[in-house]
Structure 1
Amino acid sequence: MALMYGAASAVLLFSQAAHAQSAMPMAGADAATAAGDGAVSAAEAQGEIVVTAQQREQRLVDVPVPVTALSGKLLETFKIQGMGELSLYTPGLLVQEQSVQRSGFNLRGITADDSSPVSEPTISVFVDGIDNSRQGGAISELLDVANVQVIRGPQGTLFGRGSVIGVLSVESRRPTNDFSASVSAEVGSYDLFNLTGVVNAPIVDDKLAVRAAVRVKKRDGTVRNLAIPGGRLNSIDTFYGRGTIRFTPTERITSDLIFTYQEDHPDATQFKSIVLVPEGGDTSPFTAAAQDRPDQGIDRTVFGVTWDNQIELSDSLALRSFTGFRRVKAAERWDGDGTGYAFVIGDQNTLQKQYSEEARLTWTPDPSFTLIAGGSWWHEKVDDTIAFGVNEQYLLGSFPSITAPDKPVVAATSYMGLPVTSLNYSGITRLNDRTSLSGYVNASKTFFDRLTLDVGLRYTHDDAGTSASAAQRTVGGVAGIVHPAGIFGNSGGNVSSYNQTFGFWTPRGALSFKITPDLNVYFGVARGVRSGVVDASFGTKAIQPVATWNIVKPEKVMNYEGGIKAKIGRINADLTLYKYDYTNLQVRDTSTVQGIINSAGKASGKGVEASVRGPVLPGLDLIASYAYNDSGYTYYVTAAGADYSGNQFRLSPHHKASLAVNYEHSVSDSMVGHVRVTQFYQSKTFFNADNKPYETQKGYAVTNIGVGLGDEAAGWSVEGYVNNLFDKNFLLDLGNTGKSFGTPTAIRGEPRVAGVRFQQDF
């Protein structure tokens, strides 16, 4: 790391000296980050969408990769504040935002939602060039954002770790040399309150500028909790802040230092039993719950620092580097059985620390050829404890289950003459210490101004170490009977450690042909790899001082895709067909309470993605998308012997479609009114790999609307909105912790929420 810092500093000094002889304007990648005030660029005004899916600026129509790009202006138009809302505008993407701590990103049928500290992601989330993929810290506010890009298919060659089936890349707005500010306030259903402020200020003309964005957002829970007086579930309590300092010592050098902080303290997530009827309620996931744990809830803080340097070494050579640090501290306490009985509880406490450095050179000796080469160093330490507490009196007595819902609730205080504990609490602590080094190169060459060949290769070396221990305690010292050493075992105070290295190549190739300058066809092949896993387990029958190590091979996918992209006036359209095949697919085996990670063997998928966006009539902008996906397990037998071969992936509907329109009309010289409507649909979804019929979500549609008025000259705007206009009932998940104990629990989606927003720009 020190070597990289030294190299970057040397290059910085060299560039400053070179500038004294020859100055040139900011180019390529700098242009995107320079536009930080949210103004519509000249390219946007002409309907051009510029993306960086190949780590350089290109027109969307020219890129041989399926990309959905949402500009900051579009995010503001459709009032997109969180990552969960991205599903409404992106073909093939489904974001399952249970809470800030529990999130799932599904792309092309593959879901990244593993909370294990030792497993690697399958879908990467990058914010300002820094990897934010691990579950506990992946969800963040989309505030004052320049653009969001969802890049589908394996992207490991250019983006590195975790980009097995795609990348979600977020870039914040950067400081500019003009003063600007805005403040917005929002109130709505369930005592929603949202206050947001953004300010941009130049400090030294053309040299130094700062930008800050802050949001405070609170809302009562949308679900009543009958087990606790006045209790609510699924609330919001978030503070988010970001500050950016931009230093531009010369026209060739741009250096951004970005600080981010987010703090969340929502009430507990709804985990409602679909088996046991609560007093005064029913088993519907869409009515009041009864979760009796008094201390349930979530506490999370996320802090990050990013140093983004862009340096033009010459007319044809540019360097960009990203240095990052992230710290995520999170604690979640939940009622695992989702009932008013003290049966199952769960706890997870996580501390993540991540350090990263990447340097990338881009050489463009002529417009027809670009060579990109770079390397990265990434180091992570995750200290995580997950624990379950189980009332063995219900395990040995009687408690309703999904297969026997009419069983009475009976607590057995004794069993075969032995006392039975009311709480057998055990947990496993794992420290993941992983260092990843990689180097990559990608070349793009255009022949005859029409035919372009892109090829790239990355090598990654992972050094993965895990330390683990397990502990158990029971109430009153009464020994456990069902789980003598606890659900996760007991290491007797001993800590075991194991280290394993993994090395792998991730190549890509793409060929594209321009039929016309605005009509492009392409075909691509890419290999994605998810690094291997070093996991530990302990016996549950007696104290086991030394861990049993589970080494899971890297997961591999071969992806083939072809498509066509077109730009007609200001309208962009695309169609993609893809097919992929997985080997050594890594899954969490839910047939065991411990959820051991293992290889599911083989899986495959195929599908179609299409989108159209742009102004279809004067004042009427449209975003339409459709995705068909047919994916599942080719071969998968669980540790318990259950054969899931042929089953559909979880959270993977066959059909997903959306239509978003925004109509603006002038009502006076400076005042403009608007109406926006977003319609979203997805077909039947399974929530678990076993594809149980009672753990599914039927197809459903959700409609969001907004009506507003704004005065461009005065800088103010106001909008009234209703999300989920028809109050459609739908689920985010079903199964969860309770599934392992025979009482699956459900998490409902957002009900109808209405509100009013007011914004003033200065």
Structure 2
Amino acid sequence: MPKIAHFFARSVPLLFPAALWAQTTAPQDGVIELEAVEVTSQFRVQEIQDVPIPVTAYSGAALEALGIRQYKDLAPFVPGFMVQEQSPNNPGINIRGVTTDSGDPRSETRVSLFQDGVSISRSRGSVVELFDMERVEVLKGPQGTLFGRGAEIGAVSLIQNKAQNATQMRLTAGTGSFGSTLFEGMFNAPIIEDTFFGRVAFTAAQRDGTIDNVADGSTLNGKETSALRASFRWQPTGDTTVDFIFNYQNDNPPGTSFKSGTIAPPGGDTSPYTFAALNRGRDLYIDRSVWGGTLLFNTKLTDTWSLSSITGYREFDSFEQFDADGSFVDLLEFAEDATGDQFSQEFRFNFDNGGPFIGFVGAGLFREQGTQRVPFYGNEQQIWPFLSGSFRDGIIAAGVPAALAEFAIPAVNPFVPVTAYPASMAAFANPALPPSLQGLAFLAGVPLKGSHVEEYSARGETTAYDVFVDGTYRVTDRFELTGGFRFTAEDITSGYEAHRVSATPATVGFILGAGENIAFTPTNGVREETNDSTGWVGRLNARYELNDTTSTYASVSRGRRPEAVTISATGPATYLKEEVVWNYEIGVKGVSANRRLNWSAAAFTYDYANFQTTIADPAQPGRFITTDAGNATGIGAELAVQGALTESVSVFASYGYTDATFDDTGDNGRPQEFAGYSFRLTAENTFALGLTWTLPVDGIGQFWFTPVYQYKSEHFFDDNNGNFNFALREDGYSLVNLRAGWRSVNGRWELTGWIENIADEDYLIDAGNTGGSFGIPTFIAGSPRLWGVSATFNY
């Protein structure tokens, strides 16, 4: 209790609202007000001010007005929400300082992403285009009672437009910088009047890469996405609705520019914002397909009870080729081949008799299996100088002439150019080679392979059973209590295998006694472990209405991440404890009496136990493992305000403060390895400010103008903030975006123009990456200035 009291004492002066969004309307009597925002975060329709949890909601119209088409576009408008998207294959979702981004099929997520009630949380299958949307809701804090076992620190709920009893059509075509094109459309019509309806929506977006790859004239960091959605709604009676939704998306962009901060391209530099020279050129790419079907069934059983059923099946298949050393040197060439499929079924019985209590009880089944295969390619002759002395000793002991022992120099410092080799190597220089590689020519006669291939693979299978209950009791007209509980039983199987590279007489191995493997110690078959566990999550909320326009709330909630198993090539498996987070929160929400201003506020703290983090395996460079980094604490506050200044001008602002760090000591009182370090991707301060100005012109239509300013403070790209002498961080940056357009008098035609990153600000979206585990970190640049124009026809 003293810690909680201390938190609230610190939080009162920092009571900032959580974000919300509403549109301005001008009713018939000329009164200007903001539309009420309705959400279904608690599985019933409520105004956002009546929900006793921090939730941000954006309607489909708001998403279009702000140009939000991906998670990363949404993040700046949601306090406490950050998204790092290296590619559609590799996103990082961060809520209140805690990130979920692992592609390992054996680990559970911390943030749940739901598409019409079906989990799409698995990293390699989670990125979807936000087109033809009804609404997006972002919930912060543990939401396991509402959104399942993966919502340890928050959830993102995507609600897509469903088929309607109306004939509608919308077509958009656009073009822009870097050869970008956009084609998007929707058609909705009744198939059987008042009973059966259909809707089809699609999007196809393409853009050349923003980083030139001079190795072959290709580009990196581009986009090529196409997606299709078909939905059908059947309403056999007024009390029953059945929706079927089919989603398909394919991403085939060029590769990601993992540019080396150590090895400069010929004639270039190590800046991540300038051209790169990566091996394999156009063979660096992503080919990812995601598809799934969802069946929603809702029916009223009695005047008191209703039944909701959500059935979902999804698959993803993703292959990515990437240059992990970020240079033209053939050191660390990797690929990742990931697959996954899942089935989920949830039944929920909802109770509402018009009295003081409303709630639901239900049960669910979730099954998934996934694989991850990681091939590694390299040139042994070029890898030699980067290996430690012990590796080179193994080569010599395996038969390399001892005369070469003098060249067994220590591993190259990641911040020393490759050219800084001993002067004695000059005798082996080859003028035909690039200057930075001339010192390697002496290996030409050494029996080392020019092409080396090995790989590891991981797989995971999960079966989970849930039972849950949640309800709200209205104690008085102004005071209500909400409680929820979810119990989960899980059966998780983890597998790992590293294949042995077959020996060839003409070559020698790098690791004496371990075949020819460089990066991954062979396992001599699949190593597999099964772990059965149970766990629970829950919440308790109290809400009090101060008056008709303002309410306050306080909550305590518990989230969890299941036990994890770390499997190595040798030795017994390591079982990590269940990760548990306790979140404590207070907040206030309200609207002005004339509904021209709304706001919401939240201040929180949370305690983490057994925080599981991903680190480079110290025994196997290039492989990442999950480890227990100990205990951690987060504290923060959030703010959003929106107001209608006039009938034509509305403004919005949001601010988020998050301080999430590892504790100095663990449960045993011993100092922690990451003591005082900030969580990965956690900016202490984020801010967004914008306005929308509309100008109607008689007989011509309506013009609109929306500038937006965004700020993100310093943040690290690794939980180990001290890695590489603090190089793996972003110092903080600001972005300014602008959207403007015209809409015809009858609303049939729209023209839109936009510019993102007007000042062409340089900023990083990630650093370290796979190359970092070998001591040569790579860096990924954010998007430069982009612009585009589009035309839309509505019917």
Report what 1:364 is aligned to: 352
| Aligned-partner SS, 2:74 | helix
Mapping 1:513-524, distance limit 5 Å: 513-524=544-555
Match for 1:651: what amino acid?
L
Shift of 1:426: 2.6
Q: Is the 8 A contact 2:330 2:382 kept in 1?
A: no
Deviating more after overlay: 682-691 vs 600-609: 682-691
Equivalent residue in structure 2 for 1:601, among 621, 630, 633? 630
Does residue 270 (structure 1) correspond to residue 294 (structure 2)? The answer is no
Does residue 496 (structure 1) correspond to residue 527 (structure 2)? The answer is yes
Deviating more after overlay: 269-278 vs 566-575: 566-575
**Alpha-carbon distance in 1 for matches of 2:348, 2:645:** 39
Report what 2:487 is aligned to: 459
Equivalent residue in structure 2 for 1:680, among 696, 705, 710? 710
Mapping 1:235-634, distance limit 5 Å: 235-294=222-281, 295-397=283-385, 401-405=413-417, 407-408=420-421, 409=436, 419-473=447-501, 478-482=507-511, 484=514, 485-492=517-524, 494-539=525-570, 548-568=572-592, 569-590=595-616, 592=618, 593=621, 594-634=623-663
Shift of 1:391: 3.6
Match for 2:726: what amino acid?
P
Q: Is the 8 A contact 1:421 1:474 kept in 2?
A: no
| Aligned-partner SS, 2:128 | coil
Match for 1:488: what amino acid?
F
**Alpha-carbon distance in 2 for matches of 1:645, 1:158:** 33
Consecutive unaligned residues in structure 1, runs of 5 or more: 1-38, 540-546
Deviation track 1:421-478 (CA, whole Å, cap 9, x = no partner) reads: 3444332222211001100001201122111100111101110012332213379662
**Alpha-carbon distance in 1 for matches of 2:554, 2:264:** 54
Deviation track 1:115-168 (CA, whole Å, cap 9, x = no partner) reads: 111000000100111000111011110010000000000001121121000001
Deviation track 1:48-78 (CA, whole Å, cap 9, x = no partner) reads: 1111222222111111100000011101111
Deviation track 1:699-718 (CA, whole Å, cap 9, x = no partner) reads: 21001102211104150010
Q: Is the 8 A contact 2:699 2:745 kept in 1?
A: no
- The number of residues matched between the two structures is 711
Q: Is the 8 A contact 2:26 2:647 kept in 1?
A: no
Report what 2:758 is aligned to: 725
Match for 1:515: what amino acid?
L
Deviation track 1:305-337 (CA, whole Å, cap 9, x = no partner) reads: 000111111222221111000000000110010
Shift of 1:662: 1.4
Does residue 122 (structure 1) correspond to residue 150 (structure 2)? The answer is no
**Alpha-carbon distance in 2 for matches of 1:124, 1:723:** 28
Does residue 693 (structure 1) correspond to residue 726 (structure 2)? The answer is yes
Q: Is the 8 A contact 2:39 2:45 kept in 1?
A: yes
Equivalent residue in structure 1 for 2:744, among 711, 715, 718? 711
Shift of 1:554: 1.6
| Aligned-partner SS, 2:109 | coil
Deviation track 1:343-393 (CA, whole Å, cap 9, x = no partner) reads: 101111011000000111110112521121111100001022123334443
**Alpha-carbon distance in 2 for matches of 1:614, 1:461:** 46
**Alpha-carbon distance in 1 for matches of 2:284, 2:27:** 47
| Aligned-partner SS, 1:54 | coil
Q: Is the 8 A contact 2:104 2:458 kept in 1?
A: no
Match for 1:466: what amino acid?
S
Match for 1:459: what amino acid?
F
| Aligned-partner SS, 1:429 | strand
Match for 1:527: what amino acid?
R
Shift of 1:46: 5.3
Mapping 1:649-660, distance limit 5 Å: 649-660=679-690
Distance 1:99 1:712, change over 3 A: farther
| Aligned-partner SS, 1:699 | strand
**Alpha-carbon distance in 1 for matches of 2:138, 2:196:** 31
**Alpha-carbon distance in 2 for matches of 1:487, 1:240:** 37
| Aligned-partner SS, 1:279 | coil
**Alpha-carbon distance in 1 for matches of 2:62, 2:694:** 13
Q: Is the 8 A contact 2:34 2:597 kept in 1?
A: no
**Alpha-carbon distance in 1 for matches of 2:118, 2:33:** 30
**Alpha-carbon distance in 2 for matches of 1:439, 1:486:** 47
Report what 1:544 is aligned to: none
Report what 1:80 is aligned to: 68
Larger Rg computed on CA atoms: 2
**Alpha-carbon distance in 2 for matches of 1:756, 1:636:** 54
Distance 1:63 1:421, change over 3 A: same
Shift of 1:403: 3.7
Q: Is the 8 A contact 1:601 1:635 kept in 2?
A: no
Q: Is the 8 A contact 1:302 1:327 kept in 2?
A: yes
Consecutive unaligned residues in structure 2, runs of 5 or more: 1-24, 387-410, 422-435
Report what 1:646 is aligned to: 676
Deviation track 1:12-58 (CA, whole Å, cap 9, x = no partner) reads: xxxxxxxxxxxxxxxxxxxxxxxxxxx9999x985211112222221
Q: Is the 8 A contact 2:276 2:327 kept in 1?
A: yes
| Aligned-partner SS, 1:61 | helix
Report what 1:744 is aligned to: 777
**Alpha-carbon distance in 2 for matches of 1:444, 1:528:** 20
Match for 2:608: what amino acid?
Y
RMSD: 2.3
| Aligned-partner SS, 1:158 | helix
**Alpha-carbon distance in 2 for matches of 1:74, 1:714:** 16
Shift of 1:234: 0.6
Match for 1:472: what amino acid?
R
Q: Is the 8 A contact 1:423 1:475 kept in 2?
A: no
Match for 1:581: what amino acid?
D
Distance 1:714 1:131, change over 3 A: closer
| Aligned-partner SS, 2:124 | helix
Larger relative contact order (CA 8 Å, sep ≥ 6): 2
**Alpha-carbon distance in 2 for matches of 1:695, 1:381:** 33
Q: Is the 8 A contact 1:424 1:475 kept in 2?
A: no
Shift of 1:559: 0.4
Shift of 1:663: 1.2
Distance 1:96 1:667, change over 3 A: same
Distance 1:719 1:628, change over 3 A: same
**Alpha-carbon distance in 1 for matches of 2:752, 2:295:** 37
Report what 1:29 is aligned to: none
Match for 1:458: what amino acid?
R
Q: Is the 8 A contact 1:414 1:420 kept in 2?
A: no
Distance 1:45 1:374, change over 3 A: farther
Q: Is the 8 A contact 2:462 2:491 kept in 1?
A: yes
Q: Is the 8 A contact 1:624 1:658 kept in 2?
A: yes
Distance 1:400 1:281, change over 3 A: farther
Deviating more after overlay: 623-632 vs 164-173: 623-632
